[in-house]
Amino acid sequence: MLAVSPTALTFNYTFGGALPASQTVSIANAGSGALAWTASDSDFWVSLSPASGAAPGSLAVSVNPANLAAGTHTSTLQITSPGTAGSPATVAITLAVQGTQPAGNIMAVGNGASFQPGFASATWVTIFGTNLSQRTQAWQAADFVDGMLPTSLDGVSVTIDGVAAYVEYISPTQINVLAPDDSKAGSVQVQVTAAGQTSNSLTAQKQQYAPAFFTIDGGTYVAARHLNGTLVSAAQPAAPGEVIELYATGFGPTNPPHPTAELVTSAVPLPANSVQVAVGGIAAAVGFAGLTESGLYQFNVTMPSLPNGDAAVVADIDNVPTQAGVSIPIQQ
């Protein structure tokens, strides 16, 4: 029989002070025989160590109030031992937070690939500033519920033109989000909310298309892969006639349309003949153009016959080109 003690824990925290000390939950077998257990808690501010063990045993419960608003927060720790009486056992966790963290200050908003102004729906967007989050975290598989992207990550959310964006990465000075589907074009307002505190509102430009290649090596080379999965680089250049994969964002809707809020589970093509790619000033054949991951567009391009060296790469959709100054290394 599974038995835990205590069945409730209370923590108190004042913003700017020391984190509350961890507390221990004892796990016992009130019957006979072997008893193994696992522990889980889905709230981001609760940590458990260890997450599994055998009885008799114990686990330490810690809390981190970063990105929590002032007030009382509750969570439930669940300890499970399949086939055992008393399983699952639960422990109620209460955290009282006093004081608030400073509101964030957005200083710049740009395309997440080129970092230049301007983005479109389904485009990766990078927000720069200060006090944007008290945590650093990227989304994990557990953040996708029923195949939907998260609009909040560890207490941080973002709106673009008042519509919730999809939060992929948070840190004190940078947040990466996927812009939501919204027909609005022109000036839009971007705001960050963390720990219940809303940042300043910064004006950014939203447009139908905002194509940009992701880059490597400090922005010099387009992010590209050989078909064997290795990265195209100065040490592993592309060859004339080779098909390589280029990666970008901001190329607009697919056909059929794919809601940005949903995970991409299979490649979704762009409208036929909508994208042109030039390498070294020469039109390159595009075998596939479409969305392969959330906000990530892939282009399978055959390299034209070019001399050795760095060749400029530009993609164009509806007469809107990708950023200038990026290239791909070529070696015959």
Question: Percent of the chain, pLDDT > 90?
Answer: 95
Span 319-329, average pLDDT: 97
pLDDT digit string, tens, across residues 36-64: 999 999 999 999 999 999 999 999 999 99
Q: 């060749």: which residue's tokens? A: 311
pLDDT higher than threshold 80 for residue 273: no
Give the pLDDT band of residue 90 (cuts 50, 70, 90). very high
Q: Specify the higher pLDDT residue, 287 or 272.
A: 287
pLDDT higher than threshold 90 for residue 34: no
**How far is it, in rounded angstroms, from Cα 213 to Cα 330?**
18
State whether CATH 1.10.10 applies to domain 212-330: no
Give the pLDDT band of residue 279 (cuts 50, 70, 90). very high
Q: Determine the pLDDT at residue 33.
A: 81
Give the pLDDT band of residue 271 (cuts 50, 70, 90). confident
Domain range 105-206, CATH class: mainly beta
pLDDT higher than threshold 90 for residue 268: yes
Nearest-CA neighbor of 61 among 47, 43, 78?
A: 47
Q: Three-state SS across the chain?
A: CEEEECCEEEEEEECCCCCCCCEEEEEEECCCCCCEEEEECCCCCEEEECCEEECCEEEEEEECCCCCCCEEEEEEEEEECCCCCCCCEEEEEEEEEECCCCCCEEEEEEECCCCCCCECCCCEEEEEEECCCCCCEECCHHHCECCECCCEECCEEEEECCEECEEEEECCCEEEEECCCCCCCEEEEEEEEECCEECCCEEEEECCCCCEECEECCCCEECEEECCCCECCCCCCECCCCEEEEEEECCCCCCCCCCCCECCCCCEECCCCCEEEEECCEEEEEEEEEEEECCEEEEEEECCCCCCEEEEEEEEECCEECCCCCEEEECC
pLDDT higher than threshold 80 for residue 154: yes
Span 314-323, average pLDDT: 96
Span 182-197, average pLDDT: 95
Q: Determine the pLDDT at residue 99.
A: 92
Q: Determine the pLDDT at residue 101.
A: 87
Nearest-CA neighbor of 4 among 93, 82, 87, 61?
A: 87
Question: Where exactly does CATH 2.60.40.10 map onto the chain?
Answer: 2-98, 105-206
In this prediction the pTM is 0.93
Of the options 1.10.357.10, 2.60.40.10, 3.30.360.10, 3.30.70.20, the CATH number for the domain spanning 2-98: 2.60.40.10
Tokens matching residue 79:
């300890």
Q: Determine the pLDDT at residue 216.
A: 95
Burial of 205 (0-12, 13-18, 19+ CB in 10 A): middle
Question: Percent of the chain, pLDDT > 70?
Answer: 100
Q: Determine the pLDDT at residue 312.
A: 98
- The amino acid that residue 319 corresponds to is N
Mean pLDDT of the residues in the chain: 96
pLDDT higher than threshold 90 for residue 228: yes
Are the C-beta atoms of 136 and 172 separated by less than 8 Å? yes
Q: Determine the pLDDT at residue 287.
A: 95
Q: Specify the higher pLDDT residue, 32 or 156.
A: 156
Span 261-288, average pLDDT: 93
